Structure 1
Amino acid sequence: MAIIDVIKFNGIANRNWLVYRYPGESFVFGTQLIVGEGQIAVFVKGGKALDYFSAGTHTLNAKNIPILQGLINIPFGGRTPFTAEVFFINKTVKLDILWGTSDPISLIDPKYAVRLRVRAFGQFGIRISDYRVFLTELIGAVGDDQIVKYDTVISYFKGVTVTKVKTIIANIIINQKISVLEIAPKLEEISESSQRSLSDEFERFGIEIVNFYLSSINFPDEDFETINRLLGEKAAFDIIGDNRYTVKRKFDVMETAASNEGAGSIAAAGMGLGFGAGAGTAMGNLFGNMSANDVHAHPKGQPCKKCGEMNEAGAKFCSNCGDKLIIAQIECYSCKTMVDENVKFCSNCGSSMMKKICPGCHKENKPGTKFCADCGTKQEE
């Protein structure tokens, strides 16, 4: 076997290498070892990482390979041959390692009660911090390959990375009851928690996580469309009120029934409200129910908005469920229209009727307030 006088690795162009096994094991005292910038050279014997060298040119002798010398008892003097493996390790920081959830996290959004398929993506950076531990624990990963790339080693950590990130995200959404649509402010917190959770796992193999970023948490477009539909319905409730929304939905039912193909207008309406000869009666009952839901249509009584019970005129509370019948009116600060005191938006101009909480002193201010009446802090628009 030929004796090697110079040990050197020039690296590869794309910098994606992590470990390089030098193709030769027979050396002599006096051999030149050249280690490039960003590299560490490690001598391995019997599966144990022994002496290592940083960047520079080194002449091998008993002084700079003392552990190897003691293990194999190399005689002093002359160009004494010995055998060992030499591994070059890339010690530079690699910051562009991408990760992502291959399978979505299926959970119920705590705010919209919709099942979502949540996915997460990001990137992190690593570097080899303990060369002896790294080679000792992962020496089998090198196998017979001359070059081991980052992808080979990172694939071993893919499962634990995704599992821990999924657990942290699910915990925040479910236990802290934060909607997926409102989780963006938590990205930094989740990133830091993930890095702490994963650090011990990586450090067992001599690897340090330099940083860990969660760049995106999202879900499919069809799930987003479901939430948009719910938000649209909620806006209708907030703006026109429960009672008027119910009346509107009944008109929608009538319109749908009347547009059914293959039937006359009365018969078509009957299909939505009751079949055959009862269609006309059902139509009459529908209009009767719609009128019954309107307080102004009953001068001799008032229906309860909660349970539908008809109460005597002038009653303040429902005789069936005890719910409040008379709702006080307040003036819209924008258009001066009188609206129910519990509505969130003016039914005439759409302006918000919700009180503003001052970000400075937390005092409640009237709708439309621009500056806090207590501390003068500018209110959020």
Structure 2
Amino acid sequence: MILFGNKSEGGLMDVIRCDEPEYLVWKWKPSGTANSSKKENAIRYGSSLRVKDGELAVFVYQQNQGTIQDYIIGPHDDTIRTANFPVLTSIVGAAFGGSSPFQAEIYFINLARNNQIKFGIPYFDIFDPRFPELGVPCAVRGSMTFNLTDYKSFIKLNRLREFDLEDFKNQIKGFFIRKVKSIVLNIPLDENIPVMQLERKIDEIGELVKSKIKAVLEDDFGINFKRIDISALELDKENPHYLQLKKSTADQQTKFIEAKTDIEIENLDETLRINRKDVELGVEGKNFQVHQLNKQSEVLKTAAENLGEMGNINLGGGDSGGLNPVGLLVGMGIGGTMGNQMGGMMTNLNKMPPPPPALLYYISSNGQQSGPYNLEQIKQLAQNGQLTKNHYAWKEGMTGWELAGNITELANLFSNVPPPPPGV
């Protein structure tokens, strides 16, 4: 604080400023005045006022109608005139003549200061909703940072006279610890975060605490809650309940993985069974004509054997041996016919077009690729709602992935899919 003159009383021309290095609220007093003296509040009209950037000077006037204030936000360096002090205009009259003092308390408030409060919450029991009988001790340590933005609210809620920063911090700290403990205690149930994973969620928990406490600190203390830094959210890992919870959680996770694996194996077996059936059907279709040829060959073979017997038939009724000319001619005629039939069958088999290749599609869902699936499988996926026209699909020959609803051979599948059942 720099003042002009060696004064034993207030009221002479002063340079009103704050040179304190660390403060939140600081009351200006002329040199040589006692705390109880009214002369310390006797301000000479025309004194110089200097307010640095990031500071606020508050002039508090005690009037019959109550306490009223003038606010001067830095940077400001000028003499005290009514042009700069709206309230002072109604206080300083012609009787002062520009020289008589007026009564005012002057406070400097640091708007640029970031105030930090370190806190530590000793062990308290926290419960996982899946195992409500296992209370695990948990401790929380860290710091919170605040500053002043709404200075009028701060002045309204806090007494500036004899303001003590450490006492103010202790009030905030006591309230803050109670709120943090309550929030952390309910996080496993409210936010569905298992107790065993709390230590991995420190940043997320910090943001949650800030969102729940910020408005309350503004309303009750007039401060701006800037940030919270949780340095440790520590579980007592030697506690029997912690060890039991860890084992129970591991057992539950193992069962979940086993059940998931069983389901995946069943789905894989079903997919392989369907694919194997499709392959078998394809092979049967390809070999169907060969199968027909084999059957007809067996018939012709039997007929040929019968031709050999016909050659031995004696149409003349005699007992002499040798070839029977009539039977031989008949056999030759039938044999020729059978030969032509066999030749035709072989020709048709050679001319038979190969079966069309099976269409196999790959499906993309949420960035995961699955498949390949044939048309029958695609149809089943569409009917089960696992495939919609908005899923992407691709098959060999396509230049890129395309919406299933835009692919010709798949588009008709979705027109026959029933809509979701109406809600109850």
TM category (shorter chain) comes to 0.5 to 0.7
Match of 1:67 in 2: 87
Structure 1 segment 103-182 matched on structure 2, within 5 A: 103-110=122-129, 114-139=134-159, 142-144=160-162, 148-149=164-165, 151-182=166-197
Structure 1: how far apart are the matches of 2:134 and 2:244? Answer: 11
Query: Could you say if the C-alpha distance between residues 129 and 188 of structure 1 is closer, same or farther in structure 2, counting changes exceeding 3 Å?
Result: same
Q: Do residues 79 (structure 1) and 99 (structure 2) align?
A: yes
Higher relative CO (Cα under 8 Å, sequence separation at least 6) belongs to: 1
- State the Cα distance separating 1:2 from its structure 2 match: 2.8
Structure 1 segment 310-325 matched on structure 2, within 5 A: none
- Give, as a single letter, the amino acid of the residue that structure 2 aligns with 1:6: V
Structure 1 segment 186-335 matched on structure 2, within 5 A: 186-204=201-219, 205-223=221-239, 227-228=242-243, 231=246
Structure 2: how far apart are the matches of 1:95 and 1:213? Answer: 13
- State the Cα distance separating 1:171 from its structure 2 match: 1.8
| 8 Å Cα contact 1:74-1:82 kept in structure 2 | no
TM-score normalized by the length of structure 1 = 0.53
| 8 Å Cα contact 2:116-2:146 kept in structure 1 | no
- Give, as a single letter, the amino acid of the residue that structure 2 aligns with 1:215: S
| 8 Å Cα contact 2:199-2:234 kept in structure 1 | no
Larger Rg, first or second structure (1 or 2):
2
Provide, for residues 263-321 of structure 1, a one-character-per-residue CA deviation record: whole Å limited to 9, x for no partner.
xxxxxxxxxxxxxxxxxxxxxxxxxxxxxxxxxxxxxxxxxxxxxxxxxxxxxxxxxxx
| 8 Å Cα contact 2:237-2:243 kept in structure 1 | no
- Give, as a single letter, the amino acid of the residue that structure 2 aligns with 1:212: I
Match of 1:9 in 2: 18
Match of 1:31 in 2: 47
| 8 Å Cα contact 2:60-2:104 kept in structure 1 | yes
- State the Cα distance separating 1:231 from its structure 2 match: 4.9
Query: Could you say if the C-alpha distance between residues 235 and 97 of structure 1 is closer, same or farther in structure 2, counting changes exceeding 3 Å?
Result: closer
Q: Which runs of 5+ in 1 are unaligned?
A: 240-329, 331-357, 364-381
Other structure's SS at 2:10 match: coil
Query: Could you say if the C-alpha distance between residues 183 and 136 of structure 1 is closer, same or farther in structure 2, counting changes exceeding 3 Å?
Result: same
Provide, for residues 24-76 of structure 1, a one-character-per-residue CA deviation record: whole Å limited to 9, x for no partner.
31111110112234321111123443232313322101111121332565756
| 8 Å Cα contact 2:214-2:225 kept in structure 1 | yes
Structure with the bigger percentage of helix:
2
- State the Cα distance separating 1:170 from its structure 2 match: 1.8
Match of 2:274 in 1: none
Structure 2: how far apart are the matches of 1:203 and 1:27? Answer: 33
The correspondence for 1:19, drawn from 25, 47, 64, is 25
RMSD over aligned Cα, in angstroms?
A: 3.5
Q: Which runs of 5+ in 2 are unaligned?
A: 1-8, 30-39, 255-264, 266-364, 371-424
Match of 1:337 in 2: none
TM-score normalized by the length of structure 2 = 0.48
Query: Could you say if the C-alpha distance between residues 94 and 81 of structure 1 is closer, same or farther in structure 2, counting changes exceeding 3 Å?
Result: same
Paired residues, number: 239
Match of 2:77 in 1: 57
